Chains A and B, each alone.
Chain A
């Protein structure tokens, strides 16, 4: 298996622009998680899905953030409009059976908003 695949690896955009991050989980994994990593706040859970359904989005910072999972093999995290404080590494992770089983992380997307 190729593991969790994220794209793009790096994204540089200007404030106010829309940003879309993409994730392909490991086949057969029913859970998908979006995390954000910054020096100040560490690894923060933004949202997670079970069988394509959003279960907990309480970590989504504000309405500018949205996430979708239209099918079992694809998810997007969208930021519109983007702001400099959104600059971070965004990780997607998948697991076989929720938070009590190992999370497999993608390589992350490093987002820079200028």
Chain B
């Protein structure tokens, strides 16, 4: 069945450094790839998403890249700040409104001041 693998499971960086989280997916028909951020005790919230017709997307300090051939996509956070500390989830779904949004297992990011 569909599967999304996410690495690493934990990541610790110094404030100001960059952080990279990587995901691979199994369903070659997947074409929507969102990233959610979940702070401790809070709900997941969408921070950025990308569709398969785009290779890269940026929003201020956050960027996502997609390699459809290799079936992997990555989240890049530059100039990390303590408030970036959270659990980050990648996800993948097929084109259209039906089907499932499959989440990765999550990456706990700690930004040390």
Contacts and interface: CB of A to CB of B under 8 A. Distances in A.
- Whether A and B are associated in the same complex: the answer reads yes
A91 B100 contact: no
Nearest to A40: B105
A90 B99 CA distance: 20
Contacts of B97: 31, 50, 97-100
Contact of B101 (A42, A91, A99, A106): A99
Interface in A91-108: 91, 97-100, 102-103, 105-108
A78 B100 CA distance: 21
Interface in B58-113: 89, 93-106
A106 B43 contact: yes
Interface string B14-26: 0000000000000
A91 B46 CA distance: 14
Nearest to B42: A107
B43 A108 contact: yes
A91 B99 CA distance: 18
A12 interface: no
Contact of A99 (B51, B89, B93): B93
A98 B103 contact: no
Interface of B: 31-32, 34, 36, 42-46, 49, 51, 89, 93-106
30 contacts: A31-B97, A42-B89, A42-B103, A42-B105, A42-B106, A43-B44, A43-B106, A45-B101, A48-B100, A50-B97, A50-B98, A56-B98, A56-B99, A56-B100, A91-B43, A98-B96, A98-B98, A99-B32, A99-B93, A99-B101, A100-B31, A100-B32, A102-B46, A102-B49, A103-B34, A105-B43, A105-B44, A105-B45, A107-B43, A108-B43
